[in-house]
Amino acid sequence: MIKQTTFEYARRGDTPLLLDLHHPGRDNPPLILFGYGGGFTKGCRTSPANDLLVHGLCDAGFAVAIPDYRLNTSAQDIDAEALQQITRLAKRVKRQGWLLKPRLYGVGLFTACEDISEALRFCQVNAARMGISGNTPNMLGISAGGLAGNTLCYPPGVWRGQFAQPAAMVSLAAPVVYGWRIAPNGPPTWIIHGKRDRILPSHDSEVTRQQAHAVGANITVTIPPNAPHIGIDKYITNTQANGGNRYFENIVTFFKTHTMESSATQSAGV
């Protein structure tokens, strides 16, 4: 039986940021942090839209943490130095020829990364209190949540060391924004981005694949021909990938593999 507990993981001024932990009931399960979508303007940790993937992951033996992160942020929500960095980086992103809308790599992306990074750190520091493994959490993100998670994995140089990284990342319908930062030493990342996506075109993930291949990064990009943007959670849950398994079953295997690798690395003190 899944048990849900709410934690305050951070504050922004007088506003608490909350996180819901969905626990499968087994001892110290590995954690997956879930980043919901919504274009950095909408979405919520309690939305029923999260249930399909969250319940599936819990049934597979994982605990799932869903943090709320700040939405509809603007220049007044960050300091002047961060705004200068974001503006400079946005110009370079635009020169890549992205089809991604500029608002998706602006202030909203930065503040989402700040908050989700803090949620990752909170979960690892408070693992015993939460009844979860103390290993570095994995992350699954959809759309905006995927953009933020990919940025934690491959942040621009000015933010290196500022953000926590997941042990491994599965991104649904989102490319790596700062493609020039893709490197072989980043967290294992699997991007699933449908050809039928009319909101975040899969073109940008195709470019991510080329950039990753060029430097030998541990990034796999899968472009299913019939996967949409809205409803990609249902698509991966119900659709078979190559080899006969559903995409979701392969995602579970991906996380279990990298959870074991993370556990072995941490046990060795690396």
Residue 268 domain flag: no
Q: 210 pairs with which residues across the strands? A: none
Instruction: Provide the domain limits for residue 114.
Output: 3-263
Q: Say if 269 falls within a structural domain.
A: no
- Residue 172 pLDDT exceeds 70: yes
| Cα distance between residue 112 and residue 156, in whole Å | 15
> Could you read off the pLDDT of 29-69 as tens digits, one per residue?
999 999 999 999 999 999 999 999 999 999 999 999 999 99
Residue 219 domain flag: yes
CATH number reported for the structural domain that contains residue 18 in this entry: 3.40.50.1820
| Tens digit of each residue's pLDDT (9 = 90 or more) over 79-120 | 999 999 999 999 999 888 889 999 999 999 999 999 999 999
pTM value surpassing 0.85: yes
Please report whether residue 240 resides in a domain: yes
pLDDT tens digits, 179-220 = 999 999 999 999 999 999 999 999 999 999 999 999 999 999
CA distance linking residue 10 with residue 15, whole number of Å: 9
In a domain? residue 270: no
Range 250-268 average pLDDT: 75
Confidence of residue 263 (pLDDT cuts 50, 70, 90): low
Number of domains composing the chain: 1
Cβ atoms of 19 and 68 within 8 Å: the answer is yes
- Domain contains 49: yes
Which is it for strands 138-142 and 63-67: parallel, antiparallel or unpaired? unpaired
146 part of a folded domain: yes
The single residue listed with the structure tokens 């796999």 is 220
Quick check: is 70 in a domain?
A: yes
